[in-house]
Structure 1
């Protein structure tokens, strides 16, 4: 029935080269030589009677036929991997892409709960401020990102809209009870597409001379506050653990403002993946009980 199909190994090699857009990178991922990858691709092209890649100087690009095969090959290999993992009950990897601050201050402190419920799934957290491309790196299973609340879509699920408040250590608050005397710490986003959330929105017109300090990541702002350096203007979501532990307290008489939203994004090819759906359900439940 399937005698006309090429060998599975050649499909694995092709999938790697297609995802990474490089024979050399594919060789590294598969622990073989670039020559071996090239031979596998050439053999696959000969058996199919068509070119799958355009070879250019120091680069390769998929042909139209290559694009078609790449989409089907990845889905087939992923489905095969999922079923094999279920049958053998072996550990599988779930790769989550998110921002460094969300990972450090919210996700990682809670991951032990997920591991206890799903010991067979190893969660790998990939951090960065720019949105990853699902099509370029299909090893990413899902993305958690922060931005404007522009609505949900089929594969974009809103998790929560944050509030932003002022937080300091009890010791700093005792020594500096007036906001007018405090060092005010805030985030200047690396991602220029994000709207600014500044102390100007909180203390505008109330303080003539403001002592300011800036960091480009929210968890650096929180760490500065934890080190008694000032009052942090940050997401109440990201300081939940510090509040529960008594390390930070809300600075009194300072208003909270509405921040941005966190979204979960799932690629179409992972919409029915059991480990992705399990992580999605756990994540949503964590926000509900929080």
Structure 2
């Protein structure tokens, strides 16, 4: 039996780490079709499926996980061996959620890169749980979560908030709700959870039926942009869409999100000079971001109450 091509195994590992064939193909400079062909070739060789399609991309089967566990350390070792020799701290690899990268980090990143031109920064989008002991090429991650990950250091960056948001087109069509009449509008979400908390705190009656349910924040916000309904959106993800005019925050009231944003790192990265610089910059940017939000809330509190347009009849 011939040996499997190394590039096929690299493509398989990229798909396993990202959980998304499109992003994996981009990192490998391949088309999705070419990457899928490579993966199928490995599956045919092993006689087992390596991936199944899930709601958010692709997920490893048991056979796929077993293969990844066996080859990942060797692929990492090969990658490190082939890299040009550099002093520790001149290269930094960060894993982060795609939504956080596009909505918060990337717009601010030029300031960091300008201040640290000697640092080679690699950002890897990944929605999966990361095992730093296995993926030794990763130095740290940025995650939205409870703030405690066993065996890892977690540096709090900033909290998040949720509030009702909708598209301008939906507001033009149905009018702008008040706190008391929000339940008459098409809402995106699910009975219970934060929507129940919202209505309990700010008034109104939760509807018996929601228009649609999404298990992914990015798709939820995209549905709101398309005018499907009102979403209880995360403001960190929604702010760029609001500033671009694609969404509108309906009220000044907010609920604190259950989780917050953290820089997460394994103990081996504590002395990484490049990571220390990145951490200090992140904390500075987070502080500036929080101050901006506080100033916006202060300005909002001084504005006169809005006049609300007529609202639609209650849905049956």
TM-score, L = length of structure 2 = 0.56
Q: Deviation string for 1:183-221 (max 9, x for gaps)? A: 222499xxxxxxx95323223670343333222221221
Separation in structure 2 between the aligned mates of residue 126 and residue 97 of structure 1, nearest angstrom: 5
- The residue that corresponds to 1:180 in the other structure is 183
Equivalent position SS for 1:264:
strand
Q: Residue 203 of structure 1: which of 195, 199, 204 is its match? A: 199
Report the Cα distance in structure 1 between the residues aligned to 2:158 and 2:199, rounded to whole angstroms: 25
Within 2, Cα distance between the matches of 1:165 and 1:227? 18
* Structure-2 residue corresponding to 1:119: 117
Q: Is the 8 A contact 2:151 2:266 kept in 1?
A: no
> Which one has the largest radius of gyration?
1
| Worse-superposed segment, 97-106 or 245-254 | 245-254
Segments of structure 2 that go 5 or more residues without pairing to the other structure are 11-65, 290-316
Gaps of 5+ in 1: 1-22, 30-56, 62-66, 87-91, 189-195
- Counterpart Cα distance in 1 of 2:69 and 2:218: 39
Per-residue deviation, residues 106-131 of structure 1 (Å, max 9, x unmatched): 22332233223233434332233332
CA distance in 2, matches of 1:151, 1:58: 26
SS of the counterpart of 1:211?
A: coil
**Aligned equivalents of 2:190 and 2:85: distance in 1?**
41
- 1-structure distance, mates of 2:132, 2:97: 16
Q: Would you say the 8 A contact 2:89–2:274 is kept in 1?
A: no
Task: Detail structure 1 runs of 4+ shifted over 4 Å in the superposition.
Answer: 23-29, 57-61, 149-154
1:186/1:254 CA distance change after superposition, 3 Å? farther
SS in 2 for 1:156: strand
RMSD: 4.0
Residue of structure 2 equivalent to 1:108: 106
Are 1:83 and 2:87 matched, yes or no? yes
The TM-score, its normalising length taken from structure 1, stands at 0.61
The 3-state SS of whatever aligns with 2:117 is coil
More strand by share: 1
Count of residues in Structure 1 that have an aligned counterpart in Structure 2: 219
Q: For the residues of structure 1 that align with 2:89 and 2:143, how far apart are their CA atoms?
A: 28
State the Cα deviation string for residues 126-180 of structure 1 (Å, max 9, x = none).
Answer: 2333320111011111111122245999822111221111112233223232323
